[in-house]
Every structure is written in structure tokens, then in C-alpha cells.
Amino acid sequence: MIQLRSILKEILCALLMLISIISQAQQLNSSNRSTLSFDKDWQFIKEDVKGAEMSAFDDSKWRKLDVPHDWSIEGPYDVSNPTSRGGGYLPSGIGWYRKSFSLNETDAKKKVFIEFDGVMANSDVWINGFHLGKRPYGYISFYYDLTDHLKFGKDEKNILSVRADNSIQPASRYYTGAGIYRHVRLVITNPLHIDQWGVYVSTANVTSKKASVNIESSITNQSNNATTVTLETTILDPSGKNIFSKEIKQSISAGQYLSLHQNIEINNPALWNLDQPNLYKAKTIIRSGKTSLDEQTTIFGIRESKFEAATGYWLNGKNIKIKGVCLHHDAGALGSAVPLRAWERRLELLKQVGVNAIRTSHNPVAPEFLDLCDRMGFLVMDETFDTWNAAKPNGEKGYNLNFTQWWEKDTRDMIMCDRNHPSIIIYSVGNEIHDNLNDSTGFKKYKDQQDLIHKLDPGRPVTMALFRPGQSKVYDNGFADKMDIVGQNYRENELVAAHNTKPGRIVIGTENGHTQLAWLALRDNPFMSGQFLWVGIDYLGEAQWPEITFGQGLFDRTGGWKQLSYQRQSWWSDKPVVHIVRKEENAGVGDWVANWTPTDFGTYDDGKVQVYSNCDDVELFLNGKSLGSKAKPADDSPRSWDVTFEKGSLKAIGKNKGTEVASEEHKTAGDPIKIVLSADRPTISSNWDDVSYVTVNVVDANGVICPNSDKLISFMISEAGLIAGVDNGDITSHEQYQASQRHLYRGRCVAILKAKSSNGKITLKASSPGLEDATITLEATK
């Protein structure tokens, strides 16, 4: 019996110890920060409602939805919409969002924050009827402290209310969208915690053998007690291996803000570059004794980035031409609430052309977009504003009304949010600013912004996109000489002259046309750091009715290739390229198209054909007969032929040193017979940020795409999926995007699919009278 009691006593002690361990583990886990997605289950109404900020307000009849959400893209298009040409004639107005949530009693001693990546625009936010604040700028990420206004306990309900006011129009020269169009998170921390955007990682003295990593961690003690904290930073290499840890201890008083600095040497670093965008992680842990109070992981890259006046841009000791494009933030049918996969697909297309850089025209972008640029190896010009105080046509009631009061706060928030991204190599504080830059006031506005950025992120240069410098006198009055890097839109010869006049100036094209002369200004001048084409992809707005889209992108809204992308690929790609285009109508009339199927066979006989290629020689064949071979012009001009039209095949073959390396063939299409579907990926996860683009083509009996078909395509989708949008790239089409049908444009349209569940098959059927139906099946995954 005594032995049994002894055994039971040992078992009881072991159980008590186990319970203690579990309790400590639970305490440890609950003591760290929690970051919760707050995207799901919002109530929404597209009108102004009195009293909707109050907790007791009845929103049961409102529409239930998830964010990100852009209600403007839902349409309809109307020439009388007050957004006018800037907003693409889509609706404006006021929208309300409300979300109910509960918090545990254990959270009552914590700090609770709400983070918005962007609300368009003039947002007001309330918690349980208390007004937290207003942010006019719809592109900026921001957060509020909810703590003092919350109710805790599973039976207590908290109401978060957001009012987005887009009624003040015209507010922008390009499409903005409307509503909570980016992600939302609830963050719960200890009173002693790492600040919002409080870890700053920079690198210095970077070589392939060694690099210095500098980490600045900002912590706040919002408790009532002083304590001593241990800050531990662990560096994980791109494979996830722990390669270095470092600790420092520091006492911190109640209510104190503290900035702690650490320097870590990394041997043989895996450098971040365009081909191998290696990414490290800095894991920051704050402890008091053995208790973990906060933890945060910061992704960063190790690279040496610099500009030189004589030779332009250098990355890790390699001289690189910045071959960039400007991008606006909408994605056609998806509006401004853009799933990350849609951006990934677009960046993949741009990489195929040879693009290596993005200018975020002309505003802060979603944090995950910069994450994507980090992972894919794109350089970024990160831009703050399209206007300062002076208004611009078709956007007279935009940020110019808020610049004086908000520029400093908005700039600070953008830099703090973005500064750890290795993809960002330069900041821009304005685009074609119309303020007077020929007086001390204009000088001060620029210098104040540049100085603030230098203070927050000393390692990166600042520019702005100068507008007509001959009129603003910036090259003569000393303004340009205050800029870290002189950026100018268009008029490349003026920028070249500005450098030649003062060779110490570092210069870059901040916005450039698609012309051959603009390309040669970059190609033939070693001091030209780079260019950013206007524009990478067609965007909504900045168009005159009946057009609703600016159509001078390398790609159309759907990602469809165009003459501009074919030509640019022949200039910028490192791979052998051959593309055939012709004037659409007889004898050189009309747009450039990439097919051999005239709209009117009876009147088309004189085909003006060009071949875009970077190959040494290109030979053109019509139905197997050679029309001659032409060598690559020294000025990268296209190679041209006059071709008497014959039905059949037009083929170009590119050769380097006599060996065939690339070819392209166009065949004449017959009557449309059937629909063909193709998906950019075979699976879709149920994550909001995932989509699949299904391309619809119509083909003849031989499988040749019919480029002139404009048939109406109807879609049906199985229960596991939904159609997020349909589009065809036509800049004059006023069809709705959230629909189950779409006309073809130049024989093509797309359906953008999402998964409603985490497993099962998603089947899309496309049909049109007189054509054979088509179906495609994708897998829904977690």
C-alpha cells in the first residue's frame, strides 16, 4: 500500500508538473502578439446613412460581404457620373461598412489595434460609436488604437464602423475605386510591444563576402510598470536556417518609447538581385525574464544599390539599365480590390517583355504588392503623390485639397511601412507637380519632403517627376541641383542636355513614351540610369467618352499582348524574339495587329508588314516562298515588307550567326467553329488573393484563332467556384465586369475565377449561338 501511494504521488507530481508546463506554454503563446485577418463578414451599404457609426444601429438589411471590396467597379458606366474621364465614368458616392466582433476577457489587459492597408477615400472610422480618426488619402496604410473603447467577453459585441466618402469629384485623373479595397487586420499585443512598423533593417558595406546588417527596433511600454527587457534578434537565411542571434538588455520606464540598435555581420551573404531575389528574415523577440512579450518577423534583402552620374545605376557591382514601367493600381475588371495573383500574373508578363522595374504611379501601393516585387526581383520607384497644392485638370478636388495638412503624416506612414523592401531603390515625392518651383516656397516643399525621407530611410535617394522643366526653370534656378536624382517625364533630349550641361547630375527618365527615340536615349547614353514607360498595362480612367480606359499600355486590361509589347520585347528582352505585325486595313491604314486575317478580304491586298526582332537576320515567308532576309538595323528599327496578300501562312524566321533561334507564324482564319478555353493555372486556392484567368478564344476548323470575331460568350460555373469578373480589353466597352457574359474583342475575352471552397472541382462552361461549347476544369485547393 505504501509503495502504491508512493507511485500515485509520483504520478500526481508528474501531472501537476505537466499542467504547469502547459499553463506556462499557454501563457507564453497568449503573451505574444496576435494578428487576425479582419476581411470577412462585413455589412455594407452604398449610401450615406445617419447614425451608422453607433453600436445600436440596425444594419441587418445591409449587404453582407468580405473585403477587400471596390464598389465603384460594380458600375454601371455612365457619361454623367461625376468621376468623369478621370474615374472612367464609374460611380462615386458614399459607402458604409460595419463589422461586429467579440474579444476574450483575457485580452482586456492587452493593446488592440486595427490596421487598414487602404480605404478609398476620406475615411472615418468609429469603434462602438467613438470616432477614431479621419484619413483623406485613400492610398495610405494606417492604424488606430482601439483599446480604451472596447468591450471584452464572449457575450460582448464591438462594432467597427467605416465611412468612405468618394462623393467629392472629380478627385483623380485616373481610376481610384471606392471603399475598403485593401486588407484589414486586428492586432493584439502586450502593453509593452514593438511599435507599428517598428523594426527597420538596413544593410551597408555589402560585398559577396560580407555585409553589415543594421537593425533598429522601436518598442513602447504602455504599461504602468518599469521593467528590463531583452531584445533578441535572430537572422534566418533564404533557406530558413538560423545563422545568427544577438541579444541586448535595456531597462524601460512606464510610458517610455525606446529605440534599440543592433549590428550584425553576415559572411558570404546571398545577395538580392534581379535573377536571384534572395530574402532573409530578422526575427525580433522582446522578453521580460523568460516571458516573451512580443515577436515580429521582418523580411529583408542584402544588396548594394547605388546611382552614379557618369554610369547610371549599379546593383551589387553590376551596371544595370533600369527598364521600367509605370503602373496604376487597378486591374481592369477587378477594379482596385486586386487579388495578389492578378498582380503576379501581370508582373510575369512584364518580365517576359524584359521589364525589370516598376514605378508606383502615383501613390503608395498595397504592402503585398511590394512583397511580390521583392520575391520576383523587380526594382521599384516608390511614389507618394500626384499633386501638391496646385490642382490638375480632371482632378481638381483631389489630394491638392489635403496636401498642406497631410503630406507629412502620409509621407511618414508610407516610408515607415515600405522601407524594409529590398526592391525599393528610390523614392519619388511627386508627379508632374504644377506648383511653382521657381520660388522659395516651391524649393521648401520639395526639400521638406526629401529631408523627411532621408531622416526615416537614409539609405535611399529621392527624386520627383519633373514637368516641362523649360517652363518651370528647374534646370537653371538651382531646384534640380537639390534633388538626389533628377527625374523628368518625357522630352528625353532635355534630360540628356541637363546632364551634359552639368555632368555631375544623376538622371533618370521617370515617365517615357514608347517611341524608338526614347529607347535610343536610354540605350546610347551610359549616364541615363533608366526609364519608366507610360504605361505598363492599360488602366481605367484618363479617357474621353466613349473610351473608358487609357489604352497605351504594353498590355491591355486582361493581359493581352499588343503591338507595343511585341516591339518592346525586341528591344528589352535578352532572349531571341521575332514578332510579325501588319496594318489592319489596306495600304497601311489602321492599327497594328498580329494576325494574317483581314476584316475585309475583298479590299485587302496591300499588306504593310513589320517584324520586331533582336535577331541578326530575319527572313519572311509567304506560303513557303521567301520574301527576302533583312539584317538588324543599328538603330533597332523594325524590318518592313510590302506584302501582296494571299490567304495562308505568313512566317518570319530569326537567325543569329546563321542559325535559326526564333520564329513566328500567322495563318489566315476561316469561319469560327468552336470555343477554346485555357487557364493560366490549373488550381485555385480558397484564399482571397488567388484567382485564375481563363482565356476564351474562338477558332476555325483548323484550330486557327479567329481574330475578328465579336461573339457574345455566356458562362456557367459549378458550385465550387465563382466568376469574379469578365473582360475583353476593349477600351470603349461599357459592359459590366461582374457578369456571366462578355463579347469577344479581337476574338478574345477572359473570365477571372475564384474558389468558393478549399476542395473540389471548378468547371467553367462557355457557350455562344452557332459555336461548339467548351468546358475547362480546375481544382480548388486550400
Residues acting as catalytic residues? 432, 511
Residue with the three cell numbers 480604451 = 148
Sign for the CA dihedral angle at 118, 119, 123, 125 comes to negative
Between CA 180 and CA 138 the distance in angstroms is: 9
DSSP-based three-state secondary structure for 770: coil
Between CA 675 and CA 697 the distance in angstroms is: 6
Beta bridge partners of 712: 743
Between CA 489 and CA 433 the distance in angstroms is: 11
Nearest to 711 by CA among 744, 687, 682, 748: 744
Residue with the three cell numbers 491586298 = 605
Nearest to 686 by CA among 737, 720, 723, 725: 720
The string of DSSP letters for 42-74 reads EEEESS--TTTTSTT---TTSEEE-SS--SGGG
Q: What single-letter amino acid sits at 115? A: E
What are the φ and ψ backbone dihedral angles of 619, each rounded to 5 degrees?
-115, 135
Report residue 330 as a C-alpha cell.
Answer: 487597378
Rg (CA), the chain: 29
CA 176: distance to chain centroid? 14
- Beta strand pairing status for 379-383 and 357-360? parallel
Cβ contacts of 658 within 8 Å, gap of 6 or more:
none
- The helix (H) or strand (E) run that includes residue 410 is helix 403-418
Residues 188 and 111 sit within 8 Å (Cβ to Cβ)? yes
CA 434: distance to chain centroid? 26
Cβ contacts of 633 within 8 Å, gap of 6 or more:
639
Please state, in angstroms and as integers, the Cα–Cα distance from residue 391 to each residue in 113, 399, 466, following that order. 35, 8, 16
DSSP letter, residue 147: G
Between CA 127 and CA 113 the distance in angstroms is: 11
Report residue 355 as a C-alpha cell.
Answer: 521589364
The string of DSSP letters for 610-627 reads EEEE-SSEEEEEETTEEE
Residues 242 and 236 sit within 8 Å (Cβ to Cβ)? yes
Between CA 90 and CA 201 the distance in angstroms is: 41
| Cβ-based neighbour number of residue 176 at 10 Å | 31
- The helix (H) or strand (E) run that includes residue 26 is helix 2-31
Residues 176 and 96 sit within 8 Å (Cβ to Cβ)? no
Nearest to 619 by CA among 596, 652, 643, 649: 652
Note if the bond before 362 is cis, omega within 30 degrees.
Answer: yes
Please state, in angstroms and as integers, the Cα–Cα distance from residue 27 to each residue in 15, 108, 225, following that order. 18, 15, 19
Report residue 388 as a C-alpha cell.
Answer: 501638391
**Exposed e or buried b per residue across 198-234, where buried means at least 16 C-beta atoms within 10 angstroms of its C-beta:** bbbbbbeebeeeebebebebbbbbbbeeeeebbbbbb
Between CA 491 and CA 312 the distance in angstroms is: 18
Q: Report the chain's terminal Cα–Cα distance, integer Å.
A: 56
Residues 93 and 20 sit within 8 Å (Cβ to Cβ)? no
Nearest to 197 by CA among 293, 292, 115: 115
